[in-house]
Amino acid sequence: MKTIQQAAGTDHGRYPERILQFGEGNFLRAFADWMIDDLNEKGLYRGSICLCQPIPGNEKLRGILNEQDGDYTVIMRGMNDEGSAAETERIVTSVSRCINAYDDYEQLRRLFCSEDLEVIISNTTEAGICYREGERLEARPAECFPAKLTQLLHDRYEKFGGKGHGLLFLPVELIDDNGYELRKIILRYAREWDLGEDFCRWIEDENMFASTLVDRIVTGFPADEIESLQDRMGYRDQAVVTCESFSLWVIEGDPVWQRILPLGKGDGGVIWTEDVRPYKMRKVRVLNGGHTSTVLAGILSGHELVLDLMESPVYETFLRDLLREEVIPGVPLAREEVEQFARDVLQRFRNPYIRHRLLDISMNSCAKFVTRCLPSLLAYQQREGSLPDRLVFSLAALIRFYRAEQADGVWTGRREDGSAYPIRDSEDNIAFFADAWAAASQEPDGDMGRLSERILGRVELWGMDLSAVPGLPDQVAGYLERMKQEKLEEIIWEISGARS
């Protein structure tokens, strides 16, 4: 069987290392590195990427990537325009090598001080962009990621005498304002280490820190099918990464920065903007909110996967109408643009290659509802002067989902068929719901009105007193009463106006 290098050839790639990427994991290799490979192939860019592991370890993957000269296959799986399952394969040749910040520090430092280097991409997890007390300039390298960058930037500053040669930073860590936060912590270390105001000005004036939002489901290395995949592809590859077909990268920064890395000219779904916040709101309320507003009722009804919900006419109709009527009008982007994103989301939820378990999504659902669904509910109420039926039902389903029992230290709930499911949230949250339900069971006829008032009035849970929202306690209580007698799917059909 051929090697991946033999299969790839050398038609494109093998360019100067213009990009240093902190993070060698599946996500960036199936996302940013794939996009840059596309630019190289189209002749729109001529740069290679050096991957750097920011923490010790994972020698196996590093060894595999270097043995394969950085080449690997991305397999994109999703639905085509005809609605059928489809796969697309691509050998990515944009990666030159993989080093480690600890084992190969001198290599890292030399690359950081290279005239070829233009761009820094990072995915060091949400905990990566943080300030860590006690970091020292003399440690090589420092422990936390921003401290490492401060050291390296100071080396680069001294190498070029503080004259130009700034870098474009594209962090994809999942925190708000990731570029702004990264720059802020770097400057904090620079001042803490007394590196001088000239250096601080160089960081601020010559370097470009973009805040970004990313969106692609990456399912990783297909261990259970790698042998059959290699037989089909006709070459060996131990660094295959699988993902969905959809991708989106929203970059907040000066459009002039695209001259450095013209990502917007490729096929990756890149948007350069002056403000990333509306796009984040779109993702959180439509995609994440679409999950949170349906999965709890879906679990109670006996479903296991997101795909199961999308194959159910009851839930598919409910979700489509919820997004169109109750969520999309509250997103501050062009309606047509948001509607297209919602259509893409529904198509992604139907992806037969992604087995997204509802119970996994249900973890910490209280906090998720607050950030993903509650803003849409309140915006609708303010805009329309009435409550959104579907989102209120979703809130009632959450309360029903958290009807918890404890046995052997484990909290569980009961589906409509009586089977148990685990409830994963903070102990305080689950215990509060359990106490509220226990108190309700002592009320005459198990009255849901007081239960609704008590739960919605817990400011610590919702960040506000939801019992003060006009009509909300009564409508939630009404749905909870109905759930005692009717199947959830029957209630959903009626809400959707789709009962035949």
300-317: string of b/e by CB count within 10 Å (b at 16+)?
bbebebbbbbbebebbbb
Measured CA angle at 497 (ends 495, 499), to 5 deg: 105
Name the least confident of 67-81, 304-318, 435-449.
Answer: 435-449
Query: What is the residue type of 15?
Result: Y
Q: Answer yes or no: are the C-beta atoms of 91 and 73 closer than 8 Å.
A: yes
Each as own residue / partner, the long-range contacts of residues 464-473 (CB below 8 Å, 24 or more positions apart, any chain) are 469/378, 469/381, 469/387, 470/381, 471/386, 471/387, 472/387, 472/392, 473/449
CA distance 383 to 380: 5
CA distance 217 to 209: 25
pLDDT of residue 457: 98
Give strand pairing partners of 79.
Answer: 85
CA 182 to chain CA centroid, Å, is 18
- As a dihedral over the C-alpha atoms of residue 440, residue 444, residue 449, residue 453, rounded to 10 degrees, the angle is -50
Taking residues 452-456, report their average pLDDT: 97
Residue 496 has pLDDT above 90, yes or no: no
Q: What are the tens digits of pLDDT across the range 400-434?
A: 999 999 988 899 999 999 999 999 999 999 999 99
Please, which residues have CB within 8 angstroms of residue 218's CB and are 6 or more apart in sequence?
A: 26, 27, 30, 31, 241, 242, 243, 244
Please, which residues have CB within 8 angstroms of residue 201's CB and are 6 or more apart in sequence?
A: none
Each as own residue / partner, the long-range contacts of residues 1-4 (CB below 8 Å, 24 or more positions apart, any chain) are 1/230, 1/234, 1/235, 1/236, 2/234, 2/235, 2/236, 3/68, 3/235, 3/236, 4/68, 4/71, 4/72, 4/73, 4/91, 4/235, 4/236, 4/237
Q: Which sign, positive or negative, has the C-alpha torsion 241, 242, 246, 252? A: negative
Q: What are the tens digits of pLDDT across the range 270-329?
A: 999 999 999 999 999 999 999 999 999 999 999 999 999 999 999 999 999 999 999 999
More confident residue, 491 or 13: 491
Q: What are the tens digits of pLDDT across the range 105-158?
A: 999 999 999 999 999 999 998 789 999 999 999 999 999 999 999 999 999 999
Name the least confident of 48-57, 60-69, 80-89, 377-386.
Answer: 80-89
pLDDT of residue 277: 96
pLDDT of residue 58: 79
pLDDT of residue 274: 95
pLDDT of residue 409: 84
pTM value? 0.92
Please, which residues have CB within 8 angstroms of residue 319's CB and are 6 or more apart in sequence?
A: 290, 293, 294, 309, 310, 346, 349
Average pLDDT, the chain: 95
CA distance 34 to 124: 18
pLDDT of residue 500: 36
CA distance 146 to 142: 9
Edge-to-edge strand order for the sheet containing 72-79? 85-92, 72-79, 241-244, 218-220
CA distance 58 to 354: 26
CA neighbor of 347 nearest in space, from 83, 104, 88: 83
Percent of the chain at pLDDT above 90? Answer: 93
Whether the bond between 255 and the residue before it is cis, its omega within 30 degrees of 0, is: no
pLDDT of residue 386: 97
Give strand pairing partners of 209.
Answer: 169
Taking residues 371-375, report their average pLDDT: 97
Name the least confident of 249-253, 374-378, 406-410.
Answer: 406-410
Phi, psi of 280 (to 5 degrees): -65, -45
Question: What domains can you pick out in the chain, each with its CATH number?
Answer: 2-273 (3.40.50.720), 277-496 (1.10.1040.10)
CA distance 170 to 67: 27
pLDDT of residue 499: 41
pLDDT of residue 13: 62
DSSP assignment of 303-346 equals: --BHHHHHT-HHHHHHHHHIIIIIIGGGSSS-HHHHHHHHHHHH
CA distances from 424 to 27, 308, 365 (A): 26, 21, 8
Taking residues 368-393, report their average pLDDT: 97
Sequence-ordered alpha helix ranges (H) in 193-288: 197-206, 226-233, 277-282
CA distance 417 to 488: 12
